[in-house]
Amino acid sequence: MKHTTGSIEVITGSMFSGKTDELIRRLRRAAIAKQKVQVFKPAIDVRYAVEKVTSHTGADFAALPVEKSADILPRLDADTTVVGIDEAQFFDDGIIALAQELAGRGLRVIIAGLDMDFRAEPFGPMPTLMAVAEKVDKLQAICMVCGGAASRTQRLVNGKPARYDDPVVIVGAAELYEARCREHHEVPR
């Protein structure tokens, strides 16, 4: 079933806020409605399964891993009407033009990703994707210190808050993440 107009939806928030669960929920509803769904994720994300987007709660949906945003269009089937993209913060800025192009073609584009890095600064292409989207849902997690609403991702290295000058993306490091509220989020300089 073809949509009459395309759109971009962004699901964002801190780690552990339910972004991927919400993405999967929307994708499943589209599939139930007999819409052709295709999902893409950055190849760097191998936490759970290579060819699935998987939430921390264990929900999953088939996905194609790609190295960069330019790899998505050639892998898109002609009859696809809904495109899901998970962990969009790890994609290059070409993901913005791609999302705009797909929505311009009448496709529904649903994007999930972190809005801020561990420093609580805008993360990759997410701020622009949020700006051009028709719909943005910013989810909150639960602060692991006080139990309040958390909007930030705390990176811990050896049990201590990561320093501001630490790399934004670390692959394969022994690190831990927690959701934190503004008051309990720490980034020593």
| Active site residue ranges | 87
> What Cα–Cα distance (Å) separates residue 123 from each residue in 10, 91, 115, 120?
14, 10, 6, 8
83 pairs with which residues across the strands?
38, 109
Burial 103-134 (b: 16+ CB within 10 A, else e): beeebbbbbbbbbbbbbbeebbbbebbbeebe
CA angle 116, 120, 118 (to 5 degrees): 80
Distance CA 79, CA 88 (A): 23
What's the token pair of residue 80? 């696809």
Give the residue from 144, 139, 90 showing the smallest Cα distance to 117. 90
Give the residue from 114, 122, 188 showing the smallest Cα distance to 153. 114
